[in-house]
C-alpha cells in the first residue's frame, strides 16, 4: 500500500448520482426548515404548543411531555401541519429522509452495472431506514 | 494571530459561563421565571455557534460536543437533547456529504456495507436509549465522553496504513479506490483488510450512536483507519458521510417518539452550521493542537458533569 503514479479513474457513476440527489435534498430540506422556522417564531401560524409554555415541557422526559402537551408519537405531526411548530417537521423529515431517496436512486444504476451484491445492500438499507421512518418500531417509555 | 486567539478565548468563556449559569436555575422554576421564551433559541444559537467553531478547530463532530454540554448545563431533558444532537450531527454530515463523495474522498463502496450494520444497530441503540432510565443513560453518557477523551489523547493515526493483503470479504465486495493526494499531487490507491472485524465493531458503534445521539466520528475514524487500513483522509471523509446514514435511522426513532422540539433543534442546527463555516476560516490561522487540548478539556468537564448528574452527585 502506498503512493504511486497511476491513472486516476472517475468517481463511480452511482456515487456521483448519490451525491447529486443528496445535495438537492439537503439544500431543499435546510431551506424549508429555515423558512418554516421563521413562520413559527414570527407567529404567522399559531403553534400547537404556545411558545411561552415550551420551557414547562422541555425539562420533562418525552413520555411526560407527550402526555402533558397532548401530543401523539409517530406521524401524527403530519396531520398538524397547519400549526407553526409542527410545520417545521417538513424540513426535519426531508433532512431525515433524503438518505432513503439517495439509496433508492442508485439501485437501478447498480443493477444495470450487474453489481448485484451492492444493489441488494442498498435495498436492504432502504428497508432498514424505511422501517425506522415508518414509526412502526417503537421504544419503551422511561 | 493574537486577534483570533483572543476571539476564541472570549467565545469559550461565554460558552463555559452561560451553561453553568443556566444549570444553576431549577428547570421547573425556569419555566415560569426564566424570562421571555425567545431567550432560549438565542442562547442556543450563540452557544452552538461557538460550539461549531470549536468543533472544527478541535477536529470533532458537533454532536459529540452538543449532547454532553447541552444536557449537562441546560435545563433541557436528555431525551430532547439527544434528538436535537442527532439532527445536528445529521445535518452537518448531509451538508458535507455531496462534496466528499464528488471529490472521491468519501467512498460509497466502503460506506454501504458498514452503513447497513451501523444504521440497523443505531435503531436498536435509540430504542434502548429511550427505554432505559434517564440517570442510567446520563451516567453511561458521562463514561462514554470520558472514554472519548482517552481515545483523543491516546489514539494514533496513520496517514497511509500498510495493507499487504486485502481480506477475502473486501476483495469480494471490491472495496478499493483511488484518490488524489493534493499535497503531493499523486494518486493513491487504497484497499482495506480485517473487514469482518471492522464490520463487527460497527455493531457497537451503531448502538452507541443511537443510544447517546452523539454522532460517531470519534469511533468511525480509528476503526476505518487503524483497524481496516483505509488512508486517513478516506477514513475521515467516509466517517463523516457515514454519519448521514447512521444518524438518519436513529433520528427517525427519536422523531417518531416525540423527542424533537423545533425551538431547540432549528437554532442549534443553524448555529452549529454557521459556526462550522467560521471555524473552517479560522482553522487556516489558528493552532489546532492548542484548540484540540481545549476541546479535550471541555469534553472532560462535560463528561464529569454528565457522570455526576447521572449518579445524583452535585460537584459543580
Q: Specify the higher pLDDT residue, B36 or A44.
A: A44
Q: Specify the higher pLDDT residue, A46 or A136.
A: A46
Residue B21 in this model has a pLDDT that exceeds 80? no
pLDDT at B14: 53
Average pLDDT of the residues in B238-266: 94
Sheet with B186-191, strands from edge to edge, namely A2-3, B186-191, B176-181
Query: Residues of chain B with pLDDT > 70: what percent?
Result: 87
CB atoms inside a 10 Å sphere around CB B252: 27
Residue B68 in this model has a pLDDT that exceeds 80? yes
Angstrom distance (rounded) from CA B44 to CA B22: 11
The overall average pLDDT reported for chain A is 90
Instruction: Determine the 3-state secondary structure of A102 from DSSP.
Output: helix
Question: In angstroms, what CA-CA distances link A101 with A65, A105, A114, A123, B158?
Answer: 32, 6, 21, 11, 34
A122 vs B contacts (CB less than 8 Å) = 112
Average pLDDT of the residues in B238-260: 94
Q: Which of residues 50-109 of A touch B (CB under 8 A)?
A: 51-52, 54-62, 65-66, 71-75, 85, 88-89, 92-93, 95-100, 106
Q: Do B258 and A139 touch (CB under 8 A)?
A: no
C-alpha cell read off for A114? 450487474
Angstrom distance (rounded) from CA B88 to CA B90: 5
pLDDT at B30: 44
A141 vs B contacts (CB less than 8 Å) = 130-131
B27: confidence class by pLDDT, cuts 50, 70, 90: very low
Q: Which of residues 24-53 of B touch A (CB under 8 A)?
A: 27-28, 30-32, 34, 37-38, 40-41
Angstrom distance (rounded) from CA B32 to CA B23: 15
pLDDT at B111: 97
pLDDT at B280: 76
What's the pTM value of the predicted model, to 2 decimals?
A: 0.86
A93 vs B contacts (CB less than 8 Å) = 255
Average pLDDT of the residues in B235-243: 91
Residue A106 in this model has a pLDDT that exceeds 70? yes
B16: confidence class by pLDDT, cuts 50, 70, 90: low
B3: confidence class by pLDDT, cuts 50, 70, 90: low
Angstrom distance (rounded) from CA A15 to CA A22: 10
pLDDT at B128: 93
Residue B92 in this model has a pLDDT that exceeds 80? yes
Amino acid at each position: 500500500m502506498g503512493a504511486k503514479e497511476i491513472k486516476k479513474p472517475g468517481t463511480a457513476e452511482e456515487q456521483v448520482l448519490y451525491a447529486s440527489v443528496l445535495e438537492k435534498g439537503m439544500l431543499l430540506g435546510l431551506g424549508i426548515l429555515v423558512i418554516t422556522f421563521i413562520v413559527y417564531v414570527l407567529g404567522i401560524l399559531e403553534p400547537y404548543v404556545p411558545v411561552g409554555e415550551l420551557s414547562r415541557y422541555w425539562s420533562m422526559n418525552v413520555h411526560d411531555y407527550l402526555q402533558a402537551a397532548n401530543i401523539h408519537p409517530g406521524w401524527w405531526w403530519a396531520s398538524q401541519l397547519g400549526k407553526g411548530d409542527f410545520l417545521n417537521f417538513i424540513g426535519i423529515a426531508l433532512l431525515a429522509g433524503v438518505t432513503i431517496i439517495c439509496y433508492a436512486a442508485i439501485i437501478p444504476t447498480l443493477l444495470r452495472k450487474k453489481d448485484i451484491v451492492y444493489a441488494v445492500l442498498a435495498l436492504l438499507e432502504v428497508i432498514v431506514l424505511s422501517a425506522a421512518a415508518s414509526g412502526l418500531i417503537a421504544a419503551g417509555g422511561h | 494571530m493574537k486577534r483570533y486567539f483572543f476571539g476564541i478565548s472570549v467565545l469559550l468563556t461565554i460558552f463555559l459561563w452561560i451553561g453553568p449559569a443556566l444549570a444553576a436555575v431549577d428547570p421547573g422554576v425556569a419555566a415560569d421565571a426564566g424570562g421571555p421564551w425567545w431567550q432560549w433559541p438565542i442562547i442556543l444559537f450563540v452557544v452552538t455557534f461557538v460550539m461549531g467553531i470549536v468543533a472544527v478547530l478541535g477536529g470533532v463532530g458537533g454532536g459529540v460536543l452538543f449532547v454532553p454540554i447541552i444536557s449537562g448545563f441546560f435545563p433541557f431533558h436528555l431525551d430532547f437533547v439527544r434528538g436535537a444532537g442527532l439532527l445536528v450531527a445529521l445535518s452537518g454530515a448531509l451538508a458535507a456529504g455531496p462534496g466528499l463523495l464528488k471529490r472521491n474522498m468519501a467512498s460509497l463502496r466502503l460506506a454501504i456495507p458498514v452503513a447497513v450494520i451501523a444504521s440497523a444497530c443505531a435503531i436498536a441503540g435509540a430504542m434502548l436509549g429511550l427505554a432505559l432510565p434517564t440517570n442510567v443513560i446520563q451516567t453511561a453518557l458521562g463514561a462514554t465522553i470520558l472514554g472519548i477523551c482517552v481515545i483523543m489523547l491516546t489514539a494514533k493515526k496513520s496517514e497511509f496504513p500498510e495493507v499487504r493483503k486485502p481480506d477475502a470479504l473486501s476483495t469480494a465486495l471490491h472495496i478499493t479506490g483511488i484518490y488524489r493526494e493534493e499535497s503531493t499531487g499523486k494518486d493513491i490507491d487504497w484497499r482495506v483488510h480485517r473487514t469482518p472485524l471492522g464490520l463487527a465493531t460497527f455493531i457497537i458503534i451503531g448502538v452507541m450512536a443511537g443510544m447517546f445521539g452523539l454522532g460517531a466520528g470519534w469511533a468511525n475514524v480509528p476503526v476505518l483507519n487503524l483497524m481496516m487500513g483505509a488512508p486517513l483522509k478516506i477514513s475521515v471523509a467516509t466517517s463523516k458521510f457515514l454519519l448521514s446514514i447512521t444518524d438518519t435511522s436513529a433520528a427517525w426513532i427519536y422523531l417518531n417518539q416525540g423527542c424533537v422540539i423545533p425551538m431547540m433543534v432549528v437554532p442549534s442546527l443553524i448555529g452549529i452550521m454557521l459556526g462550522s463555516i467560521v471555524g473552517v476560516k479560522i482553522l487556516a490561522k489558528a493552532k489546532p493542537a492548542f484548540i484540540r487540548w481545549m476541546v479535550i478539556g471541555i469534553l472532560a468537564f462535560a463528561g464529569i458533569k454528565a457522570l455526576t448528574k447521572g449518579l445524583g452527585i452535585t460537584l459543580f
